[in-house]
Each structure stands twice: as C-alpha cells, then as structure tokens.
C-alpha cells in the first residue's frame, strides 16, 4: 500500500458516513419516485428501504437515470433539473427535523484535528451542496470543513454521481493534492468505487449499518476496493495507522 503524505488529506463522504441521513433521504425520494412512475402509468412503487438498498451512495439524478432506463421513461433534462430541486427540498425538510450525526464522528474528527501536524478535512459527496451543508450545520460538524465541501450534484460543470470519480478529481484539484496524498472514507460500494477510480486509498465505514448488515457491507466495500474497514468512528486512529498514518 502506498503511504500517503504525512498528514494525508481526509476526503470524507457525508450521507451515512458523517451523518445518519440515508433513511430520511430515501423516504423522501420514494414519495417523489412513486409520483413520477404513476404519472408515466408504471405500475410499480418503491419504499425508502428498497431504494436505499439498491441506490445507496448515489444521488437522485443517478437514481432517476437508472430507473428511467429500466422503465423506459423519457424525461427531458429540464424536467430532471426541476425534479432534482424538488427532491433536495423534500429531503432537507426531513433532515432539519430528524437528522443525527454518525455516532462518534464529532469526537473522532476533533481528535484527529488535534494531531500535529493535523490532516486537512474535506467532504466529498454525491448529494446536492445545499443538502450537505444543511446536514453538516444541523449536526454541528460544519466547523471541521469550512468551505472544503464538494458535491457531485452541485460543484461540477456537468452534474454527476458516484461511482463516477469526477467529484473526487475535482476535490483534489481544488485542494491541490494528489491521490497518494489522500485517504477517502466511504460507506457505500458506489462511493468506494468512485474514490478507487480516482486512485485514492479508501477506508470503508460500516458503522451506519445494523449489526446484521455490517459483515455483508464490509465484504462489499472490500470487494469494491476499500483497504481497511472501520466499524465505528472510535476506530479512526487504528484505521489510519493501518493505512500508513499512525498517531504521533
């Protein structure tokens, strides 16, 4: 394993990595997706958990694109833009009332920020920038990242979604770092693939999953290219050490 620069830049996914947002987001998405399918006279409905199992790590545009291909829906780009904005507003309304941080995330980030020298911390997400910022502010994590928050849905000239590596490439360009100077932290196969395609060593996080799901997701993240698996944020120091960055 190539040892990252000491200290590395930590590029951290947001949804279900820093914050426990996916169940809230997919509940809102299911309502909107079912309305779209009904308008196109498609006799199919989805629950939030069904969408989450299939599309975890992807944003609404990626989900809508996949379902459009599957059900042969012809949705003009301008309508996709309108629907994507509606999805952001629906999700944010859920997040503002019920969102919680991932257990131990704040303490782990505070601890790693005290290292000398301390790593640069950034967020790299598929979700819309406004949604990510609301999530960070709601959970009190925003001060760790400043303006180093990058969104595949909002920060790129052409919106995309993980597993496309474009948002990781964009974040590294903005931060002025190379792949071997970074460690990505991801909870989903699509996010892990995105980071691996950008040639970034990746740490897989499974703490947002139930005990019964963790072994399966750990294997899925390993299969996608994650080098080390972190079960809880309290294990961050150990995991960074395994990836070549021990605490001083």
- Express each pLDDT in 191-235 by its tens digit: 999 999 999 999 999 999 988 899 999 999 999 999 999 999 999
The label of the residue with tokens 């999530």 reads 135
DSSP-assigned letter for residue 234:
G
Q: pTM to 2 decimals?
A: 0.82
Show which of 78, 98, 118 is a domain's final residue: 98
Q: Are strands 149-151 and 182-186 parallel, antiparallel or unpaired?
A: unpaired
Contact 22, 16 (CB under 8 A): yes
- Measured between alpha carbons, how far is 237 from 88 in angstroms, rounded to an integer? 34
- Measured between alpha carbons, how far is 203 from 189 in angstroms, rounded to an integer? 11
Reported in sequence order, the residue ranges of the chain that DSSP labels E, i.e. its strands, are 9-12, 121-125, 149-151, 182-186, 202-205, 228-230
- Measured between alpha carbons, how far is 9 from 15 in angstroms, rounded to an integer? 19
Domain-located, residue 147: yes
- Domain range for 233 is 9-20+100-242
| 136 burial level (CB within 10 Å; 0-12, 13-18, 19+) | buried
pLDDT for 248 equals: 66
Structure tokens at 58: 């992807």
- Report the share of the chain in percent with pLDDT over 90: 71
Query: Is 19's pLDDT higher than 60?
Result: yes
- Structural domain tally of the chain? 2
Question: Do 105 and 223 lie in a common domain?
Answer: yes
Question: Do 72 and 177 lie in a common domain?
Answer: no
CATH number at residue 105: 3.40.50.1000
Q: What is the pLDDT of residues 232-246, one digit of tens each?
A: 999 999 999 999 998
Question: Do 123 and 225 lie in a common domain?
Answer: yes
Domain-located, residue 139: yes
Question: If DSSP codes are grouped into helix, strand and coil, which group holds residue 205?
Answer: strand
DSSP-assigned letter for residue 114:
T
Split at pLDDT 50, 70, 90, the class of 3 is low
Question: Do 75 and 196 lie in a common domain?
Answer: no
Query: Is 61's pLDDT higher than 90?
Result: no
Question: Do 35 and 13 lie in a common domain?
Answer: no
Structure tokens at 28: 């809102």
Question: Do 164 and 88 lie in a common domain?
Answer: no
Residue 171: count of CB within 10 angstroms of its CB: 26
List the one residue out of 200, 146, 149, 201 whose CA is nearest residue 171: 149
List the one residue out of 243, 166, 218, 172 whose CA is nearest residue 197: 166
Domain-located, residue 2: no
- Measured between alpha carbons, how far is 243 from 227 in angstroms, rounded to an integer? 8
Show which of 75, 98, 121 is a domain's final residue: 98
Show which of 42, 71, 98 is a domain's final residue: 98
Write out the H or E segment, with its range, that includes residue 158. none
């Amino acid at each position: 394993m190539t040892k990252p620069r000491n200290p590395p830049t930590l590029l951290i996914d947001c949804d279900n990595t820093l914050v426990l947002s996916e169940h809230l987001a997919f509940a809102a998405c299911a309502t909107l997706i079912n309305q779209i399918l009904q308008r196109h006279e498609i006799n199919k409905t989805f629950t939030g958990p069904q969408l989450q199992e299939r599309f975890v790590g992807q944003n609404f545009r990626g989900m809508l694109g996949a379902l459009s291909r599957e059900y042969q829906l012809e949705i003009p780009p301008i309508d996709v833009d309108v629907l994507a904005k509606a999805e952001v507003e629906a999700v944010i309304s859920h997040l503002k009332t019920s969102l919680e941080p991932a257990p131990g995330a704040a303490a782990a980030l505070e601890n790693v920020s005290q290292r000398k020298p301390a790593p640069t911390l950034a967020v790299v997400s598929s979700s819309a920038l406004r949604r990510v910022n609301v999530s960070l502010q709601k959970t009190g994590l925003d001060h760790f990242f400043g303006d180093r928050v990058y969104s595949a849905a909002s920060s790129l000239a052409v919106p995309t979604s993980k597993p496309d590596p474009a948002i990781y490439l964009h974040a590294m360009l903005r931060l002025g770092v190379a792949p071997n100077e970074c460690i990505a932290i991801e909870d989903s196969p699509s996010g892990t693939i995105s980071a691996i395609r950008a040639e970034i060593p990746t740490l897989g996080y499974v703490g947002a999953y139930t005990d019964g799901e963790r072994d399966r997701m750990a294997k899925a993240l390993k299969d996608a290219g994650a080098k080390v698996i972190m079960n809880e944020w309290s294990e961050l120091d150990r995991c960074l050490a395994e990836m070549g960055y021990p605490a001083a």
